[in-house]
Structure 1
Amino acid sequence: MLRNHVLLPEDRRGTLTRTQTVALRWLEKASLPLADLQEARVARIALDAISVTFDGKEAAANTVRRKRAILHHLLELAVEQKVFATNPLHEIKWKPPKAVTVVDLRTVINPTQAKQLLAAVPKVGRTRGVRLKALFACIYYAGLRPEEAADLRLKNCTLPESGWGQIILERARPQANKRWTNSGETHESRSLKHRAKKETREIPIPPALVVILGEHIDAYGIESDGRLFRTANGGSYSSSAYSYVWQKARSLVLTEEQVRSPLAARPYDLRHAALSLWLNAGVPATEVAKRAGHSVEVLHRVYAKCMEGQQERMNGKISSALDD
């Protein structure tokens, strides 16, 4: 009831049944006053509560960190509204569990595997696979996030007859429950992740992707708003739809053991493969971070294992420079 009614904007709330109304009144009476969170004991109970799942099991580290951030922002709003003088969480010595932020090398495919998987995508389904090949190719060859590829438009692309092209990203199209979006739609065009509202990102794209995008545009055209990727009816593909296609493509290319493994288990792993390839090819971390939309600090932290093998090559370059 909280998600379906109480926490929604008033203009999106439905009419409660008599049973729901009674339950809501009970919930209001049973809930502690917000002011009680000023007590360290109560604040710690709240932190402990976000650390477990509904069945009492330990929650994943990323889940705990996300919920702790939400609780923190909620209490910051209470400070802003003069309910508290300071955020009660600042007084609690509590550390969230450490989340795994380093890319698992078992997920990273090599270029041959990537090409085989992309070639298999059109074989999935009647129309869905062939329309999604170019989207997956954007994730692999340009290192786009799936939501960035979903909002790619013709005006963002420079596709020459030969050689390298370019994508200038302006927006992303993440998926969320339509109850929580400003437009009331499942997919909503937004500014790029961690970027100012009108900030863009320039990404050179290799000839292979230029060709794939050109073939996609020739075959399917573009939507009225310029988007390259949409369903046969003009809608946006859900994450479950393109994930289904990806899993089917994996089953066509990989061995049974590989299918059960983390190897390219998600479409997002194509991005990990792209950035790992760039780094191992010797592209400077600053350039990789620029193309990927990361800070250099995040890149070094997330892709640390991918850069471990570069030390010997870098030492060789330094030796050559010293000998000159």
Structure 2
Amino acid sequence: MTAVVNEQTSYLSDRQCFAILDRASEDLQNGLALRAFLASIALAALRPEEARVLRVRDVELVDDGTGWLMVHPQAQERREKDSDRAGTVRRVPVCRELAAILQEETTRRDLGPDDAIFVLDNGRPLTAQVYRKVWQQARAAALQAHELDSPLGRHVSALRDARIAAWLRNGDQTAGHILAVAECAGMSAPRLAERFANCLRKPTRDEIPWDRLEAALALPEPSQSTSTARRP
């Protein structure tokens, strides 16, 4: 995945995402916790406020090293006008890399089922002020000068946008695929298509089923009895 920067939107590349995460892990006080937190956004397309409240019981891992996250709606999400799934718990797939990170963090801190996964090493809650400060420092260290002057990765949610864009580009982009991505992202399909329109491939002329479209839009031919009945 390459970085895309234009006047409308910008997406971090995989390399840039993980460069920023690696820089965040160098924080002397909470580097490991912060990297794990940011990785959950980068790999599962979570909203930062969703990741911050994840508990151990919300993670379901399976034998092949993957799993699922049970993501609970937050107050901010319930207020979003574009969310037609507000108030419902959604299942988000967990790749092997994220599963390993979550397991490592759970083991490192000896967490129980009801414990929050992402807290500071001193036991205090992870706040937006803390992770935003570390994010800005890591972004400044990982990106090049011309990238820092652009919108690229300006906010932590850029990790979520980059993952959603990758999901869209790396699939077949059928209606079913777009709906699945929208469900994982906790967005309505129309809002997803509007927000990430530049990630959707436009069909070529040869791919459009013109014959089926013409058949669907064609007017039915009047029957003989109907035509006769209408004659003066």
Report the TM-score when normalising by structure 2: 0.74
Q: Are the aligned partners of 2:36 and 2:101 in contact in 1 as well (CA < 8 Å)?
A: yes
Q: Give the aligned partner of residue 135 of structure 1.
A: 37
CA distance in 2, matches of 1:266, 1:225: 29
Offset, 1:208: 1.0
Cα deviation digits, residues 73-122 of structure 1 (max 9, x gap): xxxxxxxxxxxxxxxxxxxxxxxxxxxxxx9432x111122222222211
Aligned AA for 1:149? Answer: A
* Distance of aligned partners of 1:172 and 1:139 in 2 relative to their CA distance in 1, 3 Å threshold: same
CA distance in 2, matches of 1:120, 1:210: 21
Identify which of 112, 115, 134 aligns with 1:226.
115
Matched, 1:212 2:116: no
CA distance in 2, matches of 1:317, 1:165: 36
Offset, 1:143: 0.6
Alignment of 1:174-253 (within 5 A): 194=83, 195=85, 197=87, 199-222=88-111, 225-253=114-142
Offset, 1:232: 2.7
Q: Are the aligned partners of 2:47 and 2:160 in contact in 1 as well (CA < 8 Å)?
A: yes
Alignment of 1:16-165 (within 5 A): 104-106=8-10, 108-124=11-27, 126-160=28-62, 162-165=64-67
CA distance in 2, matches of 1:158, 1:192: 28
Q: Are the aligned partners of 2:90 and 2:184 in contact in 1 as well (CA < 8 Å)?
A: yes
Q: Are the aligned partners of 2:73 and 2:86 in contact in 1 as well (CA < 8 Å)?
A: no
Secondary structure of 1:158's match?
Answer: strand
Offset, 1:311: 2.2
The gaps in structure 1 that reach 5 residues or longer are 1-102, 175-189, 320-324
* Distance of aligned partners of 1:134 and 1:315 in 2 relative to their CA distance in 1, 3 Å threshold: farther
Secondary structure of 2:45's match?
Answer: coil
CA RMSD in angstroms comes to: 2.7
Q: Give the aligned partner of residue 202 of structure 2.
A: 311
The gaps in structure 2 that reach 5 residues or longer are 1-6, 210-232
CA distance in 1, matches of 2:159, 2:86: 26
Q: Are the aligned partners of 1:143 and 1:274 in contact in 2 as well (CA < 8 Å)?
A: yes
Q: Are the aligned partners of 1:128 and 1:245 in contact in 2 as well (CA < 8 Å)?
A: no
Q: Are the aligned partners of 1:120 and 1:252 in contact in 2 as well (CA < 8 Å)?
A: yes
Q: Are the aligned partners of 1:151 and 1:227 in contact in 2 as well (CA < 8 Å)?
A: yes
* Distance of aligned partners of 1:277 and 1:224 in 2 relative to their CA distance in 1, 3 Å threshold: closer
* Distance of aligned partners of 1:173 and 1:228 in 2 relative to their CA distance in 1, 3 Å threshold: farther
Higher relative contact order structure (alpha carbons within 8 Å, sequence separation ≥ 6)? 2
CA distance in 2, matches of 1:192, 1:301: 19
Matched, 1:288 2:181: yes
Secondary structure of 1:294's match?
Answer: coil
* Distance of aligned partners of 1:123 and 1:153 in 2 relative to their CA distance in 1, 3 Å threshold: same
Q: Are the aligned partners of 2:56 and 2:113 in contact in 1 as well (CA < 8 Å)?
A: no
Report the TM-score when normalising by structure 1: 0.54
